[in-house]
């Protein structure tokens, strides 16, 4: 069967395919019969691998996708009279079609932030009416690392947020759909930006870093997972052939002497974003709007050229009013993808003038 080839672009790291090492791991797991529903040896090895990265106390559970990871992570520690605080840019708020509100029944409260990063100061204004029976009670803070605007929290910033959360009897959840990109950007391991900072629960992604599908909910403190396994089943996220998610995580995170592909893939995607950002910065018609700290570049591009540029390499217009665009790189972005895009932009600037309207 010949598949339709989609042009490579900067639409999303979800647009890229599966890393060959991960495909190989899937094929290697595709032998014999093993027990189902997470009781197989590959799943046990993958949960060990996750403990290696997050610490001995980490308890992990696999699910099919990132929305489920977020909703289940929060759903297992919240009740319907609770609320969770998240940045106005959070995936949880904008891209989960109300799943947290529908399934947990709780409120998701949007906190204003320029660069999609939360601070204790911004959160403090939402800690009101505690104990008031008329008001949804704040139970958790959810941050995204790296953020939806491609910015990265430092370990110190996360530690401050965890301390703030715990001082106020709240839990800190990290949407880590791209946690590996943040760790690679900071030059640290996964535990240095989670467990060691006092984070309570992580939604750990792999799909954007070369997996086919599958995410993990990782509880970092003992006794917090509560009724997770029952709720996961009720919410239809218990994979019967869990070994195929687990095998991908093993190839991603490594085990024994193998380091897995996560850091290599993430460093590459991040480096490609840096290259794109630096080259865009030199184009007079472009204004970079966010720091490029992971694998996404945010920039205002001339509205009149967006159509032509998208024909060269697709990207999303993030803000229809300002024409701020998101250009995202992936583990398989090639320098030539970037150079071709920049050549097109420079050609438009040359032919039509960088500031013509």
Ligand X SMILES: Cc1ncc(COP(=O)(O)O)c(C=O)c1O
Residue number with CB closer to ligand X (203 or 225):
203
Told to check if 136 binds ligand X by CB under 6 A, we report no
Compute the least distance from the CB of residue 245 to ligand X, in Å: 12
Figure out which of the listed residues 87, 137, 144, 225 binds ligand X, where binding follows CB under 6 A.
Answer: 144
Q: How far is it, in rounded angstroms, from Cα 251 to Cα 253?
A: 6
Residue number with CB closer to ligand X (95 or 259):
95
82's CB contacts (< 8 A; 6+ apart) are 104, 106, 107, 136, 137, 138, 139, 140
Compute the least distance from the CB of residue 122 to ligand X, in Å: 19
Q: How far is it, in rounded angstroms, from Cα 109 to Cα 113?
A: 13
Told to check if 65 binds ligand X by CB under 6 A, we report yes
Looking up tokens 């339709």 gives: 4
| Contact track, ligand X, 85-104, x by CB under 6 A | ------x-------------
Compute the least distance from the CB of residue 24 to ligand X, in Å: 23
| Contact track, ligand X, 289-328, x by CB under 6 A | ----------------------------------------
Q: How far is it, in rounded angstroms, from Cα 329 to Cα 297?
A: 8
Looking up tokens 């319907």 gives: 80
Residue number with CB closer to ligand X (76 or 144):
144
> Which residues lie across from 63 on neighbouring strands?
215
Three-class SS state of 243: helix
Figure out which of the listed residues 85, 103, 170, 177 binds ligand X, where binding follows CB under 6 A.
Answer: 177
φ, ψ for residue 9, nearest 5 deg:
-160, -160
Alpha helices in the chain (DSSP H): 20-29, 41-54, 66-75, 91-94, 99, 120-124, 155-167, 179-186, 228-234, 243-253, 262-281, 306-312, 335-352
Residue number with CB closer to ligand X (174 or 348):
174
Told to check if 66 binds ligand X by CB under 6 A, we report yes
| Contact track, ligand X, 192-211, x by CB under 6 A | --------------------
Figure out which of the listed residues 16, 43, 47, 67 binds ligand X, where binding follows CB under 6 A.
Answer: 67
String of DSSP letters for 266-289: HHHHHHHHHHHHHHHHT-TT-EE-
Looking up tokens 């946690």 gives: 179
Q: Choose one: 29-37, 62-70, 133-141, 285-293; the region binding ligand X (CB under 6 A).
A: 62-70
Told to check if 148 binds ligand X by CB under 6 A, we report yes
Compute the least distance from the CB of residue 142 to ligand X, in Å: 10
φ, ψ for residue 77, nearest 5 deg:
-120, 0
φ, ψ for residue 62, nearest 5 deg:
-90, 145
> Does residue 28 contact residue 247 with C-beta atoms inside 8 Å?
yes
Compute the least distance from the CB of residue 350 to ligand X, in Å: 35
Binding-residue total with ligand X (CB under 6 A): 9
Q: How far is it, in rounded angstroms, from Cα 70 to Cα 2?
A: 36
| Contact track, ligand X, 6-25, x by CB under 6 A | --------x-----------
Residue number with CB closer to ligand X (62 or 305):
62
Compute the least distance from the CB of residue 102 to ligand X, in Å: 14
Q: Residue numbers of the site for ligand X (CB under 6 A)?
A: 14, 65-67, 91, 144, 148, 175, 177
């Amino acid at each position: 069967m010949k598949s339709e080839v989609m042009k490579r672009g900067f639409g999303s790291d979800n647009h890229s395919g599966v890393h060959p090492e991960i495909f190989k791991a899937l094929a290697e797991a595709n032998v014999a019969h093993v027990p189902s529903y997470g009781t197989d040896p590959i799943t046990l090895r993958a949960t060990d691998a996750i403990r290696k990265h997050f610490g001995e106390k980490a308890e992990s559970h696999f699910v099919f996708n990132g929305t489920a990871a977020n909703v289940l992570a929060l759903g297992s520690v919240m009740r319907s009279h609770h609320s969770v605080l998240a940045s106005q840019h959070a995936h949880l708020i904008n891209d989960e079609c109300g799943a947290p509100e529908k399934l947990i029944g709780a409120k998701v409260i949007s906190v204003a932030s320029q660069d999609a990063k939360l601070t204790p100061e911004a959160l403090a204004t939402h800690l009101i009416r505690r104990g008031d029976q008329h008001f949804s009670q704040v139970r958790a803070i959810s941050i995204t690392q790296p953020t939806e605007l491609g910015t990265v929290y430092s370990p110190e910033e996360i530690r401050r947020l965890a301390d703030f959360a715990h001082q106020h009897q709240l839990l800190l959840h990290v949407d880590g759909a791209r946690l590996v990109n943040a760790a690679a950007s900071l030059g640290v391991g996964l535990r240095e930006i989670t467990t060691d900072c006092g984070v309570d629960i992580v939604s750990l992604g792999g799909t954007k870093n070369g997996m086919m599908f599958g995410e993990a909910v990782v509880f970092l403190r003992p006794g917090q997972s509560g009724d997770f396994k029952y709720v996961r089943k009720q919410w239809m996220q218990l994979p019967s052939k869990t070994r195929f998610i687990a095998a991908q995580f093993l190839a991603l995170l490594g085990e024994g002497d193998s380091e897995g592909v996560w850091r290599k893939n993430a460093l590459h995607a991040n480096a490609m974003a840096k290259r794109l950002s630096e080259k865009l910065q030199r184009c007079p018609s472009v204004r970079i709007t966010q720091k490029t700290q992971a694998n996404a570049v945010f920039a205002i591009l001339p509205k009149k050229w967006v159509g032509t540029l998208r024909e060269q390499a697709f990207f999303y217009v993030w803000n229809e009013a300002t024409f701020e665009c998101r250009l995202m790189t992936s583990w398989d972005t090639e320098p030539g993808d970037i150079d071709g895009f920049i050549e097109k932009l420079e050609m438009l600037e040359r032919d039509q003038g960088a500031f013509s309207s």
